[in-house]
A and B are shown apart, each in its own frame.
Chain A
Amino acid sequence: MNYQQTIGDMKPGKREREEAEEGRKGSAENTIDKIFKDDASEEKGERARMASFIGAMAIADLVKSTLGPKGMDKILQSTGRGHSVTVTNDGATILKSLHIDNPAAKVLVDISKVQDDEVGDGTTSVVVLAGELLREAEKLVTSKIHPMTIIAGYRMAAECARDALLKRVIDNKENAEKFRSDLMKIAMTTLCSKILSQDKEHFAEMAVDAVFRLKGSTNLEAIQIIKKPGGSLRDSFLDEGFILDKKIGIGQPKRIENAKILVANTAMDTDKVKIYGARVRVDSMTKVAEIEGAEKEKMKDKVNKILAHGINCFVNRQLIYNFPEELFADAGVLAIEHADFEGIERLGLVTGGEIASTFDNPESVKLGHCKLIEEIMIGEDKLIHFSGVEMGQACSIVLRGASHHVLDEAERSLHDALCVLSQTVNDSRVLLGGGWPEMVMAKEVDELARKTAGKKSHAIEAFSRALVAIPTTIADNAGLDSAELVAQLRAEHHNEGCNAGIDVISGAVGDMEERGIYEAFKVKQAVLLSATEAAEMILRVDEIITCAPRRREDRM
């Protein structure tokens, strides 16, 4: 989907384009011969560096205001048909939808996307941190420090910052109860910056329950999220069993106890003849009828074979035509058609049945079992609910909310929380939140800067300033006096083993452990490393060569 940014007049890329235009005019005199194709352009040295700095910073500034628990949302309007609207404060979603011309900005969009895929959360932080690193680097470059020196300094600083975090991690893997409360806190911290912050305890509970059911697997596919408009967010619930968004065929039982389920992926319309070149040629009406009869017989055979499994529920991925449906109804079997592929896979997972496509040996096909199948109503829609399933791996979360936009955003937020939780289950190290990790890192990095000789120390110092920018932004977004708060925080952190962070709710510096604001170590580490990597990449560039855009037919 193509979206266009509607807020403000910030169009990253425009400024740079103009600059590039000037650049081309300026450099036209000293290039003797034209080397590039007509529309291709080249930017060199300082100009190239500035263009990429500005592009990257523009992107960082764009998402900056969504950071933290009091961050604002953005409206994204699609330029495509329907002008559909998305309201979000998820960094990755915002950046994904922008049309960007500046190559350096694309690097940032890319890291945010990867952060989303890899850990799910921290998509805004990573971009903001990379932007701050570049902003600091720009200052250093203007004071005539070579980019390579800055990179060397950044690398040392990133290494040091990571070590600082590693020293302070809390790991409660042994203690199951504590670990669960850690997870709850992480989930609440993640959710508090999202639309779900009102009912964060409710949702955190749901997310933690769901993730615990996965038993260490990171396959979030097993958690099904069903969105049904209507009701309020508070009415959302986690269901132990499995909910399939389908209707039960007419004349079939609406409620089955001790169900034996056959999950299938087979054609239940007319079976195609798979032998190549086969065709039916008849010369009279009677023969047509005969063939039709044979076809029906074939279908009936198939249905009988399926029934021979001794089932009372049959779920198929493909369509079930009227005729076989009727046969199933006659046999008192509940037949569900056209369940989507994920639905089938999940159903196979929860009920422990295998997905079958041939039905010749019923004794060896594993059937799925569940205690009860019934039709339930959520809002106005009828859904099929499988409860008392054998394998508890999968589960369903039903989201209720006032509108589609709310539901979409709620799904994204919940997805973030689930991602973070499932990653934390595997890597159980946690940290405090609320700007605490940044301050801890900044302090260590600052100390390193003082110890380091040579020009690199300027870069290391700059790194620490960039880290402090994150709590500053969080405070700014909450409408607090950031300068005051950050200074206070810095003073607090001078003491060893301090737990101070910014408490946005009360608007003061507070003990993060008491407030229960926790973050996953894995997320923080990914933010730190990818932001440094991206900044390094952009810093290394001293020339931008833009190829002529490919001509498209529809432009003509």
Chain B
Amino acid sequence: MALAFDEFGRPFIILREQDQKTRLRGIDAQKANIAAGKAVARILRSSLGPKGMDKMLQGPDGDVTITNDGATILEQMDVDNQIAKLMVELSRSQDYEIGDGTTGVVVMAGALLEQAERQLDRGIHPIRVAEGYEMASRVAVEHLERISQKFEFDVDNFEPLVKTCMTTLSSKIVNRCKRSLAEIAVKAVLAVADLERRDVNLDLIKVEGKVGGNLEDTELIYGILVDKDMSHPQMPKQIEDAHIAILTCPFEPPKPKTKHKVDIDTVEKFETLRKQEQQYFDEMVQKCKDVGATLVICQWGFDDEANHLLMHRNLPAVRWVGGVELELIAIATGGRIVPRFQELTPEKLGKAGMVREKSFGTTKERMLYIEHCANSKAVTIFIRGGNKMMIEETKRSIHDALCVARNLIRNKSIVYGGGAAEIACSLAVDAAADKYPGVEQYAIRAFAEALDSVPMALAENSGLQPIETLSAVKSQQLKENIPFYGIDCNDVGTNDMREQNVFETLIGKQQQILLATQVVKMILKIDDVISNSEY
């Protein structure tokens, strides 16, 4: 149909170069898109839940990643299909917004697409399906609000928070020491949280990893960890009560921005130049010393001469510290970043109770700990582990746990996990379906069915009979009218999620449903796919 005719009967080309483009239209386009979306969801389906499996990803340079974090898998998957890319985006936006539930959102979208396909086969117009989904999602989100519970904790009693983080970590490879990691994450978040404003700036939590040691050696440091060592091997390795000068200017003679030349034509000038140069160095070091600094942290390097002068004047220094770290150090120690030596004043120095250098293993690897800072708002989580992949995976897991703790501080409402919330929503949506008179009713029912797929996948991954388990839990919820029953993934013996302490945040769950619905609606509305065919 890309060919039209004008009033004189001449062909009229709308789409150029027919043979180089492929085009899918109408129901075929929708079918193809749904298939692609489903395929992506199918990959992630087996990673859902505490007994979910991992994926091994080999990158373009042969580097290996092992993870079961949905967002990471999709990001590294080298996807070519447009719809599949949409799914990747979907999981990424969940990651940015909430930080957890990245697998769940994709599985949910896949289930919605699967159900939509069935509705399309029945001859229901895609737009009607999309609208039905929209209504259903509204019902589900409202219902979540209703079944949500307030979650009580405070700074002294953070046990409930730890439990929630443990739920998140239990699906990762680190679940061997989920308890200690969850505690670390919660303590870190509480350390930087502003409980008054209910705000947590996750930038203040730095997650560092170093290969070696055990996962059990992972620790929380109330301070900053810098992967650098003292510039001179003979400088003191430990400084108590450090006054830190944080500099972004190099220990070098000034370099004016304007182009200039210093011409030397006589011996005298040569001599003065030499003197001048020496003086510069001397002055710079003296300046630091004068304001009372006992440690210099510099973004730039300095040459041997400056290095020795510093060493000589008993002023330990660290060079080549990255910009981000420099900022963190400034925040933590309450110092100011000083761009010029002239502006160095005692007030601008940062203060830390203890700065020490620590070495690891048999190789010459050292790190600098800056602890007991004036402003303890910045913390570092230092991860140790058997190999690089393990550390990367632990980093991702910790990130998830941090996000969960943050979300709980922002909004105290929780719903119960293990599929309990989904089952409750599914029941509510199913009940609501009958109230709608139009064709949308079918779509709403389909939505309810799609919600069931999350607990179904959970049961399947845990080695339970999916259909049997799901129907048992569903009838239990309906009979007792309590929305806490979920899938017993860890074979504990009860499916009361209150007892198992499996929580999820309300906003996380709501976001999942909303995002999945949005993407599915978008996919359903596409009825024409034009792409460059392969050449």
Contact = CB atoms under 8 A, between A and B. Distances in A.
B388 A110 contact: yes
Given A544-B58, A547-B76, A550-B60, A110 B51 contact: no
A205 interface: no
Nearest to A342: B364
Contacts of B79: 35-37
Most A Cβ at <10 Å: residue of B35, B73, B362: B362
B274 interface: yes
Contacts of B53: 147-148, 540-543
A549 B62 contact: yes
Bin the interface of chain B by size.
35 or more
A114 B386 contact: yes
B311 A277 contact: no
Contacts of B390: 533, 537
Given A35-B81, A294-B271, A545-B56, A419 B264 contact: no
Contacts of A534: 386-387
Interface stretch (A353-361, A373-381, A507-515): A353-361
B307 A357 contact: yes
B233 A348 contact: yes
Interface string A516-548: 000000000000011001101100111111111
A111 B214 CA distance: 12
A42 B40 CA distance: 12
B55 A273 contact: no
A290 B266 contact: yes
B261 A419 contact: no
Most A Cβ at <10 Å: residue of B57, B61, B256: B57
B264 A280 contact: yes
B150 interface: no
B463 interface: yes
A395 to B, nearest CB: 17
A8 to B, nearest CB: 23
A546 B58 contact: yes
Interface in B241-255: 252-255
Contacts of B361: 117-119, 218
Interface in B23-40: 32, 35-36, 39-40
Given A279-B262, A537-B389, A345 B233 contact: yes
B234 A354 contact: yes
Given A31-B39, A355-B308, A547-B59, A36 B273 contact: no
Given A117-B361, A274-B252, A37 B80 contact: yes
Interface in B190-227: 211-215
Given A33-B35, A529-B386, A536-B173, A278 B57 contact: no
Interface in A250-280: 265-267, 271, 273-280
A174 B173 CA distance: 40
B36 A280 contact: no
Nearest to B57: A545
Contact of B362 (A34, A423, A546): A423
A298 B232 CA distance: 26
B265 A282 contact: yes
Interface in A36-94: 36-38, 40, 42, 48, 52
Contacts of B386: 111, 114, 529-530, 533-534
A308 interface: no
B76 A357 contact: no
A148 B463 contact: yes
A215 interface: no
Given A118-B361, A534-B387, A32 B39 contact: yes
Contacts of A271: 274
A448 to B, nearest CB: 17
A152 to B, nearest CB: 10
A251 to B, nearest CB: 27
A255 to B, nearest CB: 28
Most A Cβ at <10 Å: residue of B57, B58, B213, B359: B58
Contacts of A348: 233-234
Nearest to B61: A550
Nearest to A104: B56
A111 B211 CA distance: 10
A461 B157 CA distance: 42
Contact of A419 (B211, B280, B362): B362
Interface string A14-40: 000000000000000001111111101
A465 interface: no
A259 B61 CA distance: 54
A150 B20 CA distance: 52
Contacts of A146: 51, 463
A419 B262 CA distance: 54
A293 B68 CA distance: 71
A365 interface: yes
A555 interface: no
B467 interface: no
Contact of B305 (A110, A281, A295, A358): A358
A120 interface: yes
Nearest to A278: B262
B95 interface: no
Contact of B81 (A34, A281, A361): A34
Contacts of B273: 273, 275, 278
A291 B39 contact: no
A541 B214 CA distance: 21
B253 A276 contact: yes
A365 B234 CA distance: 13
A307 to B, nearest CB: 18
A279 B263 contact: yes
B533 interface: no
A107 interface: yes
A354 B359 contact: no
B290 interface: no
A266 B305 contact: yes
B17 interface: no
Contacts of B68: 540
A306 to B, nearest CB: 13
A219 interface: yes
A287 interface: yes
Nearest to B46: A542
A358 B253 contact: no
B276 interface: yes
Given A35-B79, A546-B58, A275 B262 contact: yes
B305 A218 contact: no
B54 A537 contact: yes
B173 A218 contact: no
B304 A265 contact: yes
Nearest to B213: A118
B260 interface: yes
B472 interface: no
B362 A549 contact: no
Given A36-B80, A354-B234, A530-B387, A117 B308 contact: no
Contacts of B55: 541-545
A296 B183 CA distance: 66
B77 interface: yes
B291 interface: no
A119 B362 contact: yes
B176 interface: yes
A300 to B, nearest CB: 13
A111 B391 CA distance: 12
B277 interface: yes
A103 B389 CA distance: 11
B236 to A, nearest CB: 12
B214 A529 contact: yes
Contacts of A355: 232-234, 308, 311
B78 interface: yes
A221 interface: yes
List the 4 closest pairs (A to B, CB-CB), nearest first. A357-B308, A542-B53, A550-B60, A278-B262
13 contacts: A37-B80, A103-B56, A107-B66, A110-B389, A265-B308, A278-B264, A279-B263, A290-B267, A291-B264, A356-B308, A357-B309, A548-B60, A550-B61
